[in-house]
Amino acid sequence: MTTPTLVDAGHASNTLQFPFLDLQAQFSTIRTEVMTAVSQVLESQQLILGPEVDAFEREVASYLAAPFAIGCASGSDALLLALMALDIGAGDEVVTVPFTFGATAGSIARLGARPVFVDIDPVTFNLDPELLESAITPRTRAIMPVHLFGFPADMDAIGDIARRHHIPVIEDAAQSIAARWQDRPVGSLGDFGCFSFFPSKNLGGAGDGGIVVVNDETLSQRLRMLRAHGTRNKYQYECLGINSRLDALQAAILRVKLRHLDSWIEARRSNAARYRRLFAENNLQDVVVLPSETTKGFHVYNQFVIRVSERGDLQQYLRRRGIPTEIYYPAPLHLMPAFAGLRHKPGDFPITERACQEVLALPIYPGLTLDQQSTVVEGIAAFYQKSI
């Protein structure tokens, strides 16, 4: 799923008071650990897969309460590999949502299968389980819910429907590592859990990377073949695979960052709570819709996304004041040229289309200060006072 560009993620522009995401500040706190880990990999010259990746896979599997984890080159490839492991292809259908990054539906379409979209819940932005069953047909081969912005989809309802129809579930958890549903880690709730380590994710590398977690040993072995050109033994091609091996350098960096992940997430959650207090103190509850929180879902706030009806004007106003924001996502997948072959039209998924017009992400990274958050909320309050 989409993220700011590396320039946006790592550096504030000259006009911004502070960055939307400050990766440089994060790196400064773990510089010695990271450089030591990188140096050890370079000294070993075991650069692709190998012991560093093996260790990272074991640590992620343990962290996510899954028996198997298979590293790969990106979060996009994680989705693609999960679909390939199920032999999904031309004529098959996979149910997912149109309010997500292009890789979600793109991984389906790339294999010749058809993405079948279901609208989202207006509160959580995730797949609406009440609409799921009506989208299932005899051609449905998988369901791909997205745990968007760090908040879990309703995996109780989705899982019940999937089991009733004997359909596997591929969790797109790219933005949601460490999120939990009913106290179980996302990614371990379906048949496959797919994660991204793009730098701006809560657990981000120094480039692209991804991982798939599974509960089934046969599927784990198939995924390991598929990521390495369809081989278990060198030059012995058992199936048609791809080149999606995780670099050892990325694994080494991610192993360092994994040790800090819980504290970073707690800082994000603290910042989210502070936003809620600041919005209440500024009496903005009638004009700003804040992110959903429930007792069943543990939110990790990869993004802190509000909903406002005057999104475009508000974002421009904040930009003039040097306050950074981002839009996830400005247009729905079903109206994108890449998916024109699905022949959707405006109005087909009204909740998604409205969300695309109203969502606005605010800075939420762990190092964000009270003064910076106050600046954001006071800027929003000033906009609405000006509008009255």
346 located within any domain? no
Q: Helix (H, G, I), strand (E, B), or coil: what is residue 10?
A: helix
- Same-domain pairing of 243 and 271: no
- Same-domain pairing of 237 and 266: no
Tell me the longest C-alpha to C-alpha distance in the chain.
Answer: 70
Domain boundary among 223, 258, 293: 258
Beta bridge partners of 3: none
265 located within any domain? yes
Average pLDDT over residues 12-32: 87
- Same-domain pairing of 187 and 301: no
Q: What is the CATH number of the domain that holds 193?
A: 3.40.640.10
Average pLDDT over residues 277-305: 95
State the DSSP string of 51-106: HHHHHHHHHHHHHTT-SEEEEES-HHHHHHHHHHHTT--TT-EEEE-SSS-HHHHH
Q: What is the pLDDT of residues 318-346, one digit of tens each?
A: 999 999 999 999 999 999 999 999 999 99
Q: What is the pLDDT of residues 214-227, one digit of tens each?
A: 999 999 999 999 99
Q: How confident is the model at residue 8 (pLDDT cuts 50, 70, 90)?
A: very low
CA 216/CA 68 separation, integer angstroms: 8
293 located within any domain? yes
Determine the pLDDT at residue 3: 41
- Same-domain pairing of 275 and 182: no
Average pLDDT over residues 146-171: 98
Q: What is the pLDDT of residues 81-134, one digit of tens each?
A: 999 999 999 999 999 999 999 999 999 999 999 999 999 999 999 999 999 999
- Same-domain pairing of 274 and 296: yes
User: Phi/psi at 258 (nearest 5 deg)?
Assistant: -60, -35
- Same-domain pairing of 241 and 314: no
Domain boundary among 241, 258, 275: 258
- Domain count of the fold of the chain: 2
User: Which of 141-150, 231-240, 358-367 bottoms out in mean pLDDT, i.e. has the lowest?
Assistant: 231-240
Average pLDDT over residues 6-35: 79
- The answer to whether residue 14 scores a pLDDT higher than 60 is no
Which tokens go with 138?
Answer: 């005899």
- The answer to whether residue 4 scores a pLDDT higher than 50 is no
The answer to whether residues 271 and 373 touch, using CB atoms and an 8 Å cutoff, is yes
Average pLDDT over residues 310-314: 96
Q: First and final CA of the chain: distance in angstroms?
A: 36
CA dihedral 143, 199, 379, 126 (to 10 degrees): 10
Nearest Cα to 154, choosing from 132, 190, 131, 127? 127
- The answer to whether residue 80 scores a pLDDT higher than 90 is yes
167 located within any domain? yes
353 located within any domain? no
- In b/e form, how buried is each residue of 36-54, taking b as 16+ CB within 10 angstroms? ebbeebeeeeeeebbebbe
Instruction: Pick the most confident of 168-172, 230-234, 382-386.
Output: 168-172
Q: Helix (H, G, I), strand (E, B), or coil: what is residue 17?
A: coil
Q: How confident is the model at residue 15 (pLDDT cuts 50, 70, 90)?
A: confident
Q: How confident is the model at residue 387 (pLDDT cuts 50, 70, 90)?
A: low
Average pLDDT over residues 254-278: 98
Domain boundary among 207, 227, 258: 258
**How many of the other CB atoms lie within 10 Å of CB of 210?**
29
Nearest Cα to 300, choosing from 265, 258, 261? 265
CA dihedral 67, 268, 301, 251 (to 10 degrees): -40
Instruction: Print the domain residue range for 368.
Output: 261-325+363-387
Mean pLDDT of the chain: 94
- The answer to whether residue 351 scores a pLDDT higher than 70 is yes
- The answer to whether residue 381 scores a pLDDT higher than 90 is yes
Nearest Cα to 98, choosing from 23, 133, 148, 170? 148
- Please give the model's pTM, rounded to 2 decimal places: 0.93
Determine the pLDDT at residue 58: 98
- Same-domain pairing of 316 and 216: no
The answer to whether residues 123 and 95 touch, using CB atoms and an 8 Å cutoff, is no
List of E strands, the chain: 68-72, 93-96, 114-117, 140-143, 170-172, 180-181, 184-185, 192-196, 210-214, 231-233, 236-237, 297-298, 304-307, 359-362
Q: How confident is the model at residue 75 (pLDDT cuts 50, 70, 90)?
A: very high
Q: What is the pLDDT of residues 289-300, one digit of tens each?
A: 999 888 899 999
15 located within any domain? no
- Same-domain pairing of 249 and 272: no
Residue 250's identity, in one-letter code, is Q
302 located within any domain? yes
The residue behind tokens 């058992």 is: 238
- Same-domain pairing of 313 and 169: no
- Same-domain pairing of 128 and 160: yes
